[in-house]
Amino acid sequence: MEVVMSFAIGFLFMAAVYLILSKSILRIIIGTGLLSHGAHLLILTMGGLGGEAPPVLADGVTNMADPLPQALILTAIVISFGVTAFFLVLAYRAYQELGTDNLDEIRRILADDD
C-alpha cells in the first residue's frame, strides 16, 4: 500500500506544483491546498500504514497506528487552513482593489503606480 500511496502523493505534488506555477491567484491557492493534502499523506505514509487500530490505549491492542505522524498532521491541517483562509482573503481584496486575479496584470498595475 505504501508504494501505491507514494505514487499517488507524487501525483498530488505534481498537480499542486503545476497549479502553483500558473498565473491565476485562485489556481495558486487551490495548488497550495493540494500541496498540503499531499504533504499530510506523505507524513502519514512515511510513518507506515500497517497499524490495525487507532492510537488509543485499549486492552488487547498490540499493533496500533503510529501516533506521532498523526499529531504532526493534525497541527499541519489547522495551519494550512489558516494559510488558505488568509490567501483567499488576500486574493479577494486584491481583486477588489485591482480588478484582476492575474499575477502578471497585478505586477503591471503596481509597476505603473510607482
Specify the DSSP element, H or E, that contains 110. Answer: helix 103-113
Q: Which residues 14-53 are close enough to bind other proteins by CB under 8 A?
A: 14-24, 26-27, 29-30, 33-34, 37-38, 40-42, 44-53
Determine the size of the site formed for other proteins (CB under 8 A). 83
- Looking at the Cβ atoms of 60 and 113, the one nearer to other proteins is 113
Contact 47, 68 (CB under 8 A): yes
Cell (9 digits) for 1? 500500500
57 binding other proteins? (CB under 8 A): yes
In residues, how long is the chain? 114
* 25 class by beta-carbon count within 10 Å (0-12 exposed, 13-18 middle, 19+ buried): buried
**Which of 11, 60, 105, 114 is in the footprint of other proteins by CB under 8 A?**
11
Q: Which residues 67-96 are close enough to bind other proteins by CB under 8 A?
A: 67-68, 70-71, 73-75, 77-79, 81-86, 88-93, 95
As measured in angstroms, the least distance from the Cβ of 100 to other proteins is: 10
